[in-house]
Structure 1
Amino acid sequence: MGTAFARNLLDDGYETVIFSKCGNNVAALEAAGAKAAMKWIDLAHCEIVISMVPDDEATDSVSISLANVLDTHAIHISMSTISPDASRRASERHSRLGQGYVAAPVLGNPDLAAARKLYILAAGPDEYVERSLPLLDRLGQRIFNVGQNPELANTFKLAGNALTAATLQSMGEVLAFLHKAGVDPKVAFSVFTESLFDGKVHKAYGRKIVEQRYSPPGMTLPLAVKDLRLALAEAEQLSVPMPVASVVRDRLVAAVARGWEDLDWSALGKLAEFSAGI
């Protein structure tokens, strides 16, 4: 998703510096006009740095490194799906040095990122959110300001992923049920998504399930397991039971156990068919 962000910002004429530890897509982005950073100090002049990394550990590493090189009042926008605690740590780390931190995780997938159709959940001190808005406006179709505490954006994101995962599980179950009863899955999909179940998640992921199009993944199963784990951990801290999310997490783990770790999380539909003996 970070590659899509960089391409869109380049298209809009922003001076864009990219830093990728794994080197993915660096050459292509350089050819499009980006400058490649070789070390953290190469980002020292940036007014705003956007990070998109897979987990809490990576976010801690990035925020520590950025805090050591960014100027006072520079802003770190974290668009990663991480725990509220990790977001809180990053915010405190930057604040101690007079730097800004905005959490801005997204609802959407890499295709929506490329098309600037993401929904962005932004949270942080008003001053830093306001300064970040012109940039965030270029990356999505709508920005929701969910508060001044950055961790609230991450809590929202985890809740959204728990809701999406529950929908994928439900879609997989009912499509497998109807398939085994003799209904063409494409017919079942059309009936549902052209009546009461016409939401974006039902349509986008339901189609993947019906077409058995689980690769390339928008989000891999292991990342989905991580997100449900983080959501359930936060819910436990708040004493909020989430029985449906718990079941769906176990189904995601079961899919990974079958060796499907490279598949999209909509492969919950594939698991539903397997469980039904289809």
Structure 2
Amino acid sequence: MSELVSTVAFIGLGAMGAPMAENLVRRQFRVRGFDMREAARQALEAAGGAGAASAAMAAEGVDALVLMVVNAAQARAVLFEAGALKALAPRACVILMATCPPADTEAIAAEVMASGRHFVDAPVSGGVNGARNATLTIMVGAPQESFARAKPVLDALGDKVFHVGEKPGQGATVKTVNQLLCGVHIAAAAEALSLAEKAGIDGRLLFEILGGSAASSWMLKDRGPRMQEAEPGVASAVDIFVKDLSIVLDAGRSARAALPLAAAAHQMFLAASGLGHGARDDSQVVRAYRALNARPANDA
């Protein structure tokens, strides 16, 4: 482990953040974590870390601060309103791992770096399983010195760490493209299933066939079986893709890039959320297709 970083504050001990923090503990980092939920702090303590009563207390004097929060607004609140940035060691490294718009990431980075701290833009892909198994894909936008300082932490969290550029915001841009493809692939799998179901074809057989064909994708093989379950466990929620595809579309508008497939996928996730399924697993976007393709009342 690098001598540069030994103490880590971890903010956001949710479905992904909790196992990520525990992986840092296993790699012999001294981890102090904060989450609004006391049960999450207690779980970290049971794993060998330390719970903190506030974000600022978690960040007090540490070498690195990992932010695994919901969005850029929460990151700003932790850093600038809750006082976590001021509590850090003078040359500490702030590692933002949430999915945020590139412009917001750049703005946060500028404020952090103005304080003399390092900033590493490092969003992740891989979901809950990747977080548990330390097999996340991590896309990093940061100056080389900052990247090198953060790399021992990143290596403890993922096995595919890519330095995509020297500027904060570039990691967020790659994650935005990643989420475009993920969202479209899930929606496309749901659309395919809805057509098969309408034609009376067994969905499980369909995905068995397609999973070994040229039509396959990682998302089809992962989410397809969950579309067949009445209440699958939540690996990533429908509302996550409502948010992430909104970021994708905002990036498209900023770049004057037409993204019609992303827009259509966003509408289906939004429809599923509007039907009350926002907290369900993102595979349940299929419920919006099923609602669209429901048998007419006079056919019942």
Same-fold call, TM cutoff 0.5: yes
Distance 1:57 1:49 in 2: 17
Superposed, 1:34-45 pairs within 5 Å as 34-39=49-54, 40-45=56-61
Structure 2 residues without counterparts, runs of 5 or longer: 1-15, 296-300
- Counterpart in the other structure of 1:157: 175
Task: Decide whether aligned partners of structure 1 residues 79 and 200 sit closer, same or farther in structure 2, where only a CA change above 3 A counts.
Answer: same
Q: Does the 8 Å contact 1:63/1:93 carry over to 2?
A: no
Change (3 A) 1:24 1:105: farther
Residue pair 2:268, 2:289 contacting (<8 A) in 1 also = no
Q: Is the 8 A contact 1:49 1:75 kept in 2?
A: yes
2:241 matched residue in structure 1: 224
Q: Which of 237, 241, 252 is 1:235 aligned to?
A: 252
2:197 match: 179
1:121-158 per-position Cα deviation (integer Å, ceiling 9, x unaligned):
11111101011111111111211111011111111112
User: Which residue number in structure 2 is paired with residue 107 of structure 1?
Assistant: 125
CA distance in 2, matches of 1:89, 1:66: 17
- With a CA cutoff of 8 Å and minimum separation of 6, indicate the structure with the bigger relative contact order: 1
Matched, 1:67 2:82: no
After TM superposition, the runs of 4+ consecutive aligned structure 1 residues lying more than 6 A away are: none
Deviation, 1:42, is 4.3
d(CA) in 2 for partners of 1:188 and 1:213? 20
Partner of 2:292: 275
Which one of 209, 212, 223 corresponds to residue 205 of structure 1? 223
Relative distance call for 1:151 and 1:168 in structure 2 (3 A) is same
The residue type paired with residue 115 of structure 2 is L
- Count of residue pairs the alignment pairs up: 277
Q: TM-score, normalised by structure 2?
A: 0.88
The aligned counterpart of 2:12 is: none
Distance verdict in 2 for CA 1:24–1:232, change over 3 Å: farther
Post-superposition CA distance 1:9-52 (Å, at most 9, x none): 11222111101133341112112211112230442221011111
Change (3 A) 1:24 1:57: farther
Amino acid corresponding to residue 293 of structure 2 in structure 1: A
Contact 1:59 1:86 in 2 (8 A): no
**1:212 CA drift (Å):** 4.3
Structure 1 CA distance for aligned equivalents of residues 215 and 39 of structure 2:
38
Tell me if the contact between 2:41 and 2:52 (Cα under 8 Å) persists in the aligned partners.
no
Q: How far off its partner does 1:274 sit?
A: 2.5
Does the aligned pair in 2 maintain the 1:158–1:230 contact within 8 Å?
Answer: yes
Q: Which amino acid letter does the alignment assign opposite residue 238 of structure 2?
A: L
Q: Deviation of residue 109 (structure 1)?
A: 0.6
User: Residue 275 of structure 2 is aligned with which of 249, 253, 258?
Assistant: 258
Is contact 2:33-2:58 (8 Å) kept?
Answer: no
Q: Where does structure 1 lack aligned partners over 5 or more consecutive residues?
A: none
Alignment of 1:70-149 (within 5 A): 70-149=88-167
What SS does the aligned partner of 1:183 have? coil
* CA drift at 1:213: 4.5
Mark the CA change 1:212 to 1:193 in structure 2 (over 3 Å): closer, same or farther.
farther
Identity percentage of aligned residues: 25
